[in-house]
């Protein structure tokens, strides 16, 4: 009996953390009970991307997209939909239902129809633990093509023509980088996959490793062939145990199929892949520190030049590529450089995966062609900001990036345009910030991260980031002055100019970009001693508005009894006693308490 329906259960880390693990067993039990287990294929698949609305269950062939599924929901899906054919509308993702209650297929949902999934082509569609499903969707055809029909130089030319640029943040043309290593004469070369994804909130690489690990293996080997390497390392951060497991399974299966090892496809090409684990250092995502770590040395960045392509791991020519870059490569080779270069813009070809987060309805992973505007991503795909709040800024590039104000929201997403706006693409983090946030506080958040993660080798980063954080703390506390702002800007400039590696060079970016676009907010902190976003506690003055209904809830909950007022009367806060905890604001049923 061949299966007539496929039920895909999203098993990416985000959905697992929301309880997806038990769903599989629930399906097994219910389908067995109904006697239709053999008709249905159950597949644990990788991250589907709409993480805010997970856990997901997608039923094919209809493409019905069930969202926020709990264990108790499985019974109705089985009884009603799988047995009786009646789609359970109340469990369907709200954007997948038309006003007439018609159910849109998976690829018709605006969240997905506006995306172009190249890197994520298999995520959410295949069982990552089954190599045959990868092969069924054209997996390893790219590798076969390069090994049997192309020379290494031709592969490199194809990559250059495609215009694929590094997706880890550097944006360096992948083909050009490969060419440098290819041109080095050495009997030992290495490929390294940088899976030490460290930007807070970014999980594009994790989703790819968990959902489509073979694409990374294939991309790594295509690169190995192009540069003349026979060994590849995948450096995964140890905080990704599921990704590590999936990679191990994938490598084992690929070896069994003769796709990793000696004489692959009978071409004479040998390649071996080894996994190396990180140990909790963001700096080891920087390529020279990563190399140091694999060598067993302390994870500290090294001077460039020499560049790794010339002298890298153990002094040998080494290419380090990001996970997302590698995931693109099999598709580029299989479909051709022309196909890829038709997606995107002139200087930024292809697509980019973003981890959309912050104050946004559809938080999760999205992949869009380069050139899509920020507005489209946030409002059409992302579903806009909850509670209809105003957008203050979009932060891109994680702790290395900057904030883009609402006025620049129609910027097309490209490497150069984001840099010109004072930010950068980075690895793909995109955080939406609404009006109730403070830019000074957000700067502090990023600097706290950078201070913690600085390796400590060079003076400006080791000492300078801490000083910048301390100055931000002073500004946030209300004790800052305009001179402190000027000094902060100067210090940030020197740290950016003179740091040894990308971590230190980019650490001041949040500060510099926010001073450029949100200077008035900083000045409000030091001149007016106010926090416009209502976040910095010492600067908050809580105030009861006229729509107070006198319910006394605030007064009853105030830990320091600083709210006066009787039942059904206007209440008043004594700011001299108030400790700015914000509890009154949270409990007010009519939003009558604001910070001014």
Partner 1 sequence: MNKISMTINGAKVSVPKDYSVMRAAEEMGVIVPRLCFLKGINETSSCRLCVVDVKGMRGLKNSCTLAVQDGMEIETDTDEINAAVVSNLQLLASNHVFECWACEREHNCELLDLMRKYDVENIYGESKNFDKKERLINDSSLSIVLDSGKCILCGRCVTACEKQAGLGILDFNDRGNETYVGPAGFHNMEDSGCIYCGKCIQACPVAAIKEKSEIDQVIDVLKDPTKKVIVSAAPSVRVSLGEEFGSKIGENVEGKMYTSFNKLGFDEIMDTSFTADLTILEEGTEFINRIQNGGKLPLFTSCSPGWVNYIEQYEPEYLDNLSSAKSPQQMAGAVSKHYFAEKLGYNKEDVVFVSIMPCIAKKHEAHRPEMESDGVRDVDYVLTTREYARLLKRKGIDFMNLEDSKAYGNLAKYSGAAVIFGATGGVMEAAVRTVSEILEGKTTPIEYKQARGLAEIKEATLTIAGIDVNIAVVHGGSSIKHFFEIMKKSDKQYHFVEFMACTGGCINGGGQPIHPAIVQDNNDIRSLRAKTLYEMDSSSEKRKSHENQFVMNLYEEWLGEPGSHKAHSLLHTHYKKRDFYN
Partner 2 sequence: MKSLDDLKRIRDAAQKKVTMRGKNDGIRILVGMATCGISAGARPVMNKFVEEIASRDLEKVTVTPVGCIGECAIEPIVEVLQGEERTTYCRVDIEAVERIINEHIVGGKVVSDHVIGKYRI
Binding site for partner 1 (CB under 8 A): 281, 298, 300, 302-303, 305, 451-460, 462-467, 470-471, 474, 490-491, 493-500, 505
β-partners of residue 321 are 193
Between 117 and 496, name the residue whose CB sits nearer to partner 1. Answer: 496
Between 148 and 577, name the residue whose CB sits nearer to partner 2. Answer: 148
Shortest distance in whole angstroms from residue 227 CB to partner 1: 23
β-partners of residue 92 are 66
* 16 interface partner picked from partner 1, partner 2, none, CB below 5 to 8 A per type: none
| Interacting residue ranges for partner 2, rule: CB under 8 A | 1-6, 8, 39, 41, 60-63, 82-87, 105, 107, 125-126, 130, 132-133, 135-138, 140-141, 144-145, 148, 257-259, 264-266
Shortest distance in whole angstroms from residue 314 CB to partner 1: 17
Between 257 and 487, name the residue whose CB sits nearer to partner 2. Answer: 257
Between 284 and 394, name the residue whose CB sits nearer to partner 1. Answer: 284
β-partners of residue 322 are 194
Between 428 and 460, name the residue whose CB sits nearer to partner 1. Answer: 460
Q: In what order do the strands lie in the sheet with 402-405?
A: 364-369, 351-358, 429-434, 391-396, 402-405
Chain position carrying tokens 């020519």: 317
Alpha helices in 184-240 (DSSP H): 204-211, 213-227
* 365 interface partner picked from partner 2, partner 1, none, CB below 5 to 8 A per type: none
Between 87 and 512, name the residue whose CB sits nearer to partner 1. Answer: 512
Between 429 and 480, name the residue whose CB sits nearer to partner 1. Answer: 480
Shortest distance in whole angstroms from residue 464 CB to partner 1: 6
Shortest distance in whole angstroms from residue 372 CB to partner 1: 27
CA distances from 328 to 166, 331, 359 (A): 10, 6, 29
Tokens of residue 500, six digits: 């040894």
* 148 interface partner picked from partner 1, partner 2, none, CB below 5 to 8 A per type: partner 2
* 528 interface partner picked from partner 1, partner 2, none, CB below 5 to 8 A per type: none
Shortest distance in whole angstroms from residue 159 CB to partner 2: 21
β-partners of residue 365 are 355
Tokens of residue 33, six digits: 């009970």
* 231 interface partner picked from partner 2, partner 1, none, CB below 5 to 8 A per type: none
Shortest distance in whole angstroms from residue 147 CB to partner 1: 37
Reduced to 3 states (helix: H, G, I; strand: E, B; else coil), residue 209 is: helix
Alpha helices in 106-196 (DSSP H): 110-113, 131-136, 141-149, 152-162, 174-183
* 457 interface partner picked from partner 1, partner 2, none, CB below 5 to 8 A per type: partner 1
Residues 414 and 91: their CA atoms lie apart, in Å, by 37
By C-alpha distance, which of 512, 476, 516, 480 is closest to 495? 512
Shortest distance in whole angstroms from residue 488 CB to partner 1: 12
Between 64 and 431, name the residue whose CB sits nearer to partner 2. Answer: 64
* 29 interface partner picked from partner 1, partner 2, none, CB below 5 to 8 A per type: none
381 touches 110 (CB < 8 A) = yes
Phi-psi group of 305: left, alpha or beta (phi > 0 → left; psi -120 to 50 → alpha; rest → beta): beta
Residues 476 and 514: their CA atoms lie apart, in Å, by 14
Shortest distance in whole angstroms from residue 504 CB to partner 1: 9
Between 479 and 561, name the residue whose CB sits nearer to partner 1. Answer: 479
Tokens of residue 295, six digits: 């060598």
* 455 interface partner picked from partner 2, partner 1, none, CB below 5 to 8 A per type: partner 1
Residues 474 and 476: their CA atoms lie apart, in Å, by 5
β-partners of residue 572 are 564
Shortest distance in whole angstroms from residue 214 CB to partner 2: 13
β-partners of residue 191 are 232, 319
Between 119 and 440, name the residue whose CB sits nearer to partner 1. Answer: 440
Residues 315 and 308: their CA atoms lie apart, in Å, by 8
* 5 interface partner picked from partner 2, partner 1, none, CB below 5 to 8 A per type: partner 2
Helix, strand, coil fractions of the chain, as percent rounded to 5: 45, 15, 40
Shortest distance in whole angstroms from residue 462 CB to partner 1: 5
Chain position carrying tokens 């997209």: 65
Between 169 and 224, name the residue whose CB sits nearer to partner 1. Answer: 169
Shortest distance in whole angstroms from residue 5 CB to partner 2: 7
Tokens of residue 376, six digits: 């489209």
* 538 interface partner picked from partner 2, partner 1, none, CB below 5 to 8 A per type: none
């Amino acid at each position: 009996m061949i299966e007539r329906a496929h039920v895909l259960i999203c098993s990416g880390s985000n959905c697992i953390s929301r309880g997806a693990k038990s769903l599989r067993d629930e399906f097994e039990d219910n389908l067995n009970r109904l006697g239709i287990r053999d008709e249905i294929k159950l597949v644990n698949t990788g991250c589907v991307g709409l993480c805010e609305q997970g856990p997901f269950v997608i039923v094919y062939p209809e493409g019905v997209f069930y969202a926020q599924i709990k264990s108790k929901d499985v019974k109705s899906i089985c009884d009603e939909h799988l047995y009786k054919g009646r789609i359970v509308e109340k469990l369907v993702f709200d954007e997948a239902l038309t006003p007439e209650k018609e159910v849109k297929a998976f690829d018709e949902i605006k969240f997905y129809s506006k995306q172009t999934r190249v890197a994520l082509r298999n995520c959410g569609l295949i069982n990552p633990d089954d190599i045959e499903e990868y092969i069924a969707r054209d997996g390893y055809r790219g590798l076969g093509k390069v090994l049997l029909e192309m020379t290494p130089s031709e592969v490199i030319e194809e990559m250059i023509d495609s215009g694929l640029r590094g997706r880890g943040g550097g944006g360096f043309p992948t083909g050009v980088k490969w060419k440098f290593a290819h041109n080095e004469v050495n009997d030992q070369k290495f490929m390294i996959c940088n899976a030490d994804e460290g930007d807070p909130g970014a999980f594009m690489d994790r989703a790819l490793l968990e959902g489509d690990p073979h694409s990374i293996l294939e991309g790594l080997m295509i690169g190995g062939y192009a540069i003349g390497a026979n060994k590849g390392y995948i450096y995964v951060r140890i905080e990704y145990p599921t990704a590590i497991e999936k990679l191990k399974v994938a490598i084992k299966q690929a070896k069994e199929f003769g796709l990793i090892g000696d004489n692959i496809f009978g071409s004479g090409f040998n390649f071996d892949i080894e996994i190396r684990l990180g140990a909790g250092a963001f700096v080891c995502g920087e390529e020279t520190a990563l190399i140091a770590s694999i060598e067993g040395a302390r994870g500290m960045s090294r001077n460039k030049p020499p560049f790794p392509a010339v002298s890298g791991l153990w002094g040998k020519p080494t290419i380090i590529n990001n996970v997302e870059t590698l995931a693109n490569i099999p598709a580029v080779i299989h479909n051709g450089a022309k196909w890829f270069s038709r997606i995107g813009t002139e200087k930024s070809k292809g697509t980019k995966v973003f981890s959309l987060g912050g104050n946004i309805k559809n938080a999760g992973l999205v992949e869009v062609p380069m050139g899509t505007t920020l507005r489209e991503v946030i409002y059409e795909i992302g579903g806009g900001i909850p509670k209809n709040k105003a957008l203050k800024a979009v932060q891109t590039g994680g702790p290395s990036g900057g904030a883009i104000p609402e006025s620049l929201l129609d910027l097309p997403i490209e490497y150069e345009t984001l840099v010109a706006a004072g930010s950068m693409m980075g690895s793909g983090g995109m955080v939406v910030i609404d009006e109730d946030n403070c830019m000074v506080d957000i700067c502090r958040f990023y600097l706290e991260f950078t201070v913690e993660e600085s390796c400590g080798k060079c003076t400006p980063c080791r000492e300078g980031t801490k000083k910048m954080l301390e100055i931000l703390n002073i500004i946030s506390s209300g004790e800052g002055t305009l001179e402190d702002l000027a000094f902060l800007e100067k210090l940030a400039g020197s740290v950016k100019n003179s740091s040894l590696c990308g971590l230190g060079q980019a650490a001041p970016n949040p500060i510099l970009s926010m001073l450029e676009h949100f200077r008035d907010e900083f000045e409000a902190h030091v001149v007016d001693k106010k926090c416009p976003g209502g976040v910095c506690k010492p600067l908050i003055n809580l105030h009861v508005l006229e729509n107070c209904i006198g319910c006394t809830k605030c007064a009853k909950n105030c830990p320091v009894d600083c709210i006066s007022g009787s039942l059904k009367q206007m209440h008043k806060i004594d700011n001299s006693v108030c400790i700015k905890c914000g509890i009154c604001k949270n409990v007010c049923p009519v939003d009558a308490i604001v910070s001014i």
